[in-house]
Amino acid sequence: MTVDHVPSVKLTEEGRQALLKLTKGDMRRALNVLQACHAAYDLTGEAEVYNCTGNPHPSDIETIVNSMLTDEFTTAYNSEYECGDRRDEP
């Protein structure tokens, strides 16, 4: 039995992939993140892993970069803050 197959831990495939990506294969970090996610959420998916670790979600980075490349400076600047504000919401 592996750690993410413990019956009480509900981890989606996307959450598992995000966990592996963010912890770079470090089992101690992965266990710490998994424990924090399990304490905070009933179901741990990709968004929950990114939220627990404080890392920006890849879709937020993509939105910001696209805005920087295509929009005016003030619009891109405001877009960055909107992504951060959404992340702070429960």
pLDDT of 88 reads: 52
Please give the model's pTM, rounded to 2 decimal places.
0.74
Q: Are residues 47 and 63 both part of a single domain?
A: no
Q: In the prediction, which pLDDT does 83 show? A: 72
State the total domains in the chain.
Answer: 2
CA distance 13 to 16: 5
Euclidean distance between CA atoms 33 and 52, whole angstroms = 7
Domain residue limits at 71: 58-88
- Residues 49 and 78 grouped into a single domain: no
The tens place of each residue's pLDDT in the chain, 90 residues long, gives 465 555 677 889 999 999 999 999 899 999 999 999 989 999 999 999 999 999 988 988 898 888 889 988 888 888 777 776 655 554
The answer to whether residues 43 and 68 belong to one domain is no
Quick one: 49 and 62 in the same domain? no
CA angle in degrees (0–180, nearest 5) for 29-51-27: 15
Report the pLDDT value the prediction gives residue 1, as an integer from 0 to 100.
42
Answer whether 30's CB lies under 8 Å from 21's CB: no
